[in-house]
Amino acid sequence: MTETVMLGLIGDNITRSQSPKLHRTAGILAGLHVTYERLIPKDMGLSFDEVFEQARRSGFRGINVTYPYKEIVAASVEVSDPLVRAIGAVNTVVFDPQGPKGFNTDYTGFMSAYRKVRGTENPGTVCLIGTGGVGKAVAFGLIGLHTREIRCVDLDPTKARNLAKALRALGSATVIKTYSDAETAAKGANGIINCTPLGMVGVGGSPLDGESMKGAAWVFDAVYTPVQTPFLQDAAHLGMTVITGYELFFGQGVDAWNIFTGVQLDHDALRVAIQGDDL
């Protein structure tokens, strides 16, 4: 009898998340029986910590963590990777007998997404809107891509400054600046990135209007439900290269799968298997 691999996702507003589909399909392709549950604390009438502990005690192999808990969970797990400790956000947890281990596949997933669309081209000067959990991971991914300049934008100036401090501590050649206004930060930028919930199903909106985006060459939106957000639609209308949140979703998902199971996958076969109208 095939052993069941129990996985799950803790987050808010995740009823349309495609993570269950990705991991269950990966299980089928790998010959494993995989269950993957959506765990929404407010719907369960529990706190994040209570849901986390319930998953651990229930025999889950691991969980993914999404908005708004990526920074919260970092305090509850052991993180061995110094880069992930510097990011300060965790999106993948493995329940080890010695205790929960934390990882971040958002930054590797973003790098894969960027390279898939733009190859080896330098990102240039990038306006990064939103410095929460996913914003931190994407920023570290931008460092890995040798971005010339990152403009960290957040309505909370302390969050932007803290991210800038962490990025500068890496000692890279990337210039780091902070802004509280996205329109100002977007002026003269080569790339514009949305790492806020704006545009997500149930949230709506956009971090910038089309007029403020003019002049940029490319955009990326971390939101992937829906894939074509108003932000990306405006960018496409202006002729910019678009990198969708789906590419980040796929990249972080296969990296998380490898952490959960260690079983190699045919990524092309998985991509084809999970594509559908519900994306």
DSSP 27: H
Catalytic residue at 246?
A: no
Which residues, 6+ apart, have CB-to-CB distance to 99 below 8 Å?
Answer: 77, 78
Tokens representing residue 191 in the block: 């790339």
Distance between CA atoms of residues 153 and 110, nearest Å: 18
For residue 80, give the 3-state DSSP assignment.
coil
Query: Considering only CA atoms, which of 97, 105, 48, 98 is closest in space to residue 253?
Result: 105
Distance between CA atoms of residues 149 and 4, nearest Å: 46
Query: Considering only CA atoms, which of 10, 90, 25, 16 is closest in space to residue 58?
Result: 10
The pair phi, psi for residue 37, each rounded to 5°, is -110, 145
Which of 36, 69, 179, 246 is flagged as catalytic? 69
Distance between CA atoms of residues 162 and 147, nearest Å: 19
Which residues, 6+ apart, have CB-to-CB distance to 257 below 8 Å?
Answer: 22, 23, 26, 263, 265
Active site amino acids? 69
